Amino acid sequence: MSNVCVIGGGAAGMMAAVTAAEGGNKVTLFEKNEKLGKKLYITGKGRCNLTNASDEENIFNNILKNKKFMYSALYSFNSDNVCDFFKSYGLEIKVERGNRVFPASDKSSDVISTLARALNKTGVDVRLNNHVRTLVCKENDNEKYEKKIDYIILDNKEKISFDKIIVATGGLSYQSTGSDGWGIKEAEKLGLKTVDLLPGLVPFNIKEEFVKDLQGLSLRNVSLEIKSNNKSVYKDFGEMLFTHFGISGPLVISASSVVNRLKSKGNLKIFIDLKPALSMEELDKRILRDFDEFKNKSFKNSLEKLLPKKLIPVIINLSGINPDKKVNEVSKKERNTLTSLMKNFELTFSGFRGFNEAIITCGGINVNEINPATMESKKVENLFFCGEMIDVDAFTGGYNLQIAWSTGRLAGLSV
Ligand SMILES: Cc1cc2nc3c(=O)[nH]c(=O)nc-3n(C[C@H](O)[C@H](O)[C@H](O)COP(=O)(O)OP(=O)(O)OC[C@H]3O[C@@H](n4cnc5c(N)ncnc54)[C@H](O)[C@@H]3O)c2cc1C
């Protein structure tokens, strides 16, 4: 039996603590907040999409960075295992569109209370309001490692020694939940390499002023393409949203994880196809039909069947067509401009929103520093890492929490 310390009472830390305690260890969990799982509480818009009920192949396809590093962790604790784990501690779950798994109650708080119950049942000593400030190592006589973990120092200067320490303190996003990158900085101080932190799954700022007029407009079934210096780097179909600063919504959030990996983010253009089911010719015919129906109306009053209300003045303005022109006076050339605008509605990327609006943090502890079969540091003996602080990230759909559960489980098993 080892005396194990887990730092961080988020998804990965709670899973690691329960697992280590199930294995018969004496486990103490330190969380700096007054309660556990503050970030978990806001996941999935308060419903917590806790995993994706799909096979490993699909999960690997949705991991964007360092998927190979995840092989052992995911194969030893896959999404079925996650569901079984939660069911075994009394949580009812359901599967929705896209295999997204949620608690049957639609309440993320039930996921947290299930984990709290598991911590209690397995005898983990949970210490809330305990801010760990420093990790201290000692020299090691074991040639395999440079150092060995020794003790932690708390906010109140108390020093506590442990046999093994699991750090699960998260990334940098939504700092108000407690994740402020502490563990990553501490690992750097111990000589471990890290990868620069970037906001991931995050909305875009847009240069064009007119986006402000579109604020609140949600577009479904549109296609979004991103081009860097005229080369396509991302294309997908789905739902997006205009905001006071730019664009957000599922399509944009997913695109951000691809865009933030581009070496140069200059000259990035976004093209929205508002009518992806129609070719240019089909759209022109459709416009002509509407013009025929509205033949006595002016151009500005002829687009209501084709476009959402908020978009009409913007498109009219961009088209350069006189809004008061009668529709039967609109020329073929002008119609071409209109169809082009609808098929290629162009926006200019001017940066990402910050970490406080980012669902995840990209970057973190370099995976080469961690043994993927155990989650132990390769340099510091008895020091383990799990969760978002490691340089692994995925698309939305329950995959990021799956990463936290799998790496947390493996760290807990390894101690
Ligand atoms: C708005 C939002 C919605 C999301 N929705 C989903 C979703 O539906 N599905 C999904 O898969 N993923 C989702 N995610 C991502 C997912 O929440 C994270 O990837 C996951 O919570 C990371 O877990 P973690 O345990 O590694 O870190 P965290 O959850 O960040 O936990 C780290 C914990 O460590 C504590 N801590 C930090 N430093 C110290 C210290 N020095 N001493 C003591 N304690 C410390 C923090 O207070 C915190 O409680 C969402 C994220 C956000 C922001």
The whole-model pTM stands at 0.93
Q: How far is the CA of 12 from the centre of ligand 1 (A)?
A: 8
Q: How far is the CA of 345 from the centre of ligand 1 (A)?
A: 36
Tell me whether strands 164-167 and 3-7 are parallel, antiparallel or unpaired: parallel
Query: What residues are paired with 128 via a beta bridge?
Result: none
pLDDT at 196 over 90: yes
The best mutation among 93, 102, 176, 179 to test binding of ligand 1, ranked by most ligand atoms within 8 Å of the C-beta, falls on 179
CATH topology of domain 203-353: Helicase, Ruva Protein; domain 3 (1.10.8)
Query: Residue 296: pLDDT band by 50, 70, 90 thresholds?
Result: confident
Could you tell me if 287 and 306 are in contact, meaning their C-beta atoms sit under 8 angstroms apart? yes
Could you tell me if 247 and 347 are in contact, meaning their C-beta atoms sit under 8 angstroms apart? yes
Question: Can you tell me the mean pLDDT for 112-125?
Answer: 98
- Intervals of CATH 3.50.50.60 along the chain: 3-197+365-414
* Euclidean distance between CA atoms 145 and 51, whole angstroms: 35
* Euclidean distance between CA atoms 162 and 6, whole angstroms: 10
Q: The tokens of 323 are what? A: 């809004």
Q: The tokens of 308 are what? A: 């959402």
- Which residue's CA is the nearest one to ligand 1's atom 22? 388
Ligand 1 closest atom vs CA 402:
11
The best mutation among 169, 355, 357, 385 to test binding of ligand 1, ranked by most ligand atoms within 8 Å of the C-beta, falls on 169
pLDDT tens, residue by residue, 8-50: 999 999 999 999 999 999 999 999 999 999 999 999 999 999 9
Selection from 205, 200, 199 nearest residue 349 by Cα: 205
Query: Residue 324: pLDDT band by 50, 70, 90 thresholds?
Result: very high
* Euclidean distance between CA atoms 10 and 31, whole angstroms: 8
pLDDT tens, residue by residue, 224-252: 999 999 999 999 999 999 999 999 999 99
Architecture in CATH of 3-197+365-414: 3-Layer(bba) Sandwich (3.50)
* Euclidean distance between CA atoms 53 and 93, whole angstroms: 11
pLDDT of residue 315: 96
pLDDT of residue 257: 87
The best mutation among 174, 197, 401, 406 to test binding of ligand 1, ranked by most ligand atoms within 8 Å of the C-beta, falls on 401
Q: How far is the CA of 7 from the centre of ligand 1 (A)?
A: 13
> In this prediction, what percent of the chain has a pLDDT beyond 90?
94
pLDDT of residue 140: 87
- Intervals of CATH 1.10.8.50 along the chain: 203-353
pLDDT of residue 294: 87
pLDDT of residue 264: 78
- What is the H or E stretch that residue 99 is in? none
What does pLDDT average to over the chain?
96
Q: The tokens of 213 are what? A: 């007029």
Q: How far is the CA of 305 from the centre of ligand 1 (A)?
A: 44
Instruction: Fill in the DSSP letter of residue 376.
Output: B
pLDDT of residue 149: 95
Ligand 1 closest atom vs CA 173:
53
Residues contacting ligand 1 via CB (< 6 Å): 7-13, 30-33, 38-40, 42-44, 48-49, 131-132, 168-170, 173-174, 178-179, 182, 359-360, 387-388, 398-401, 404
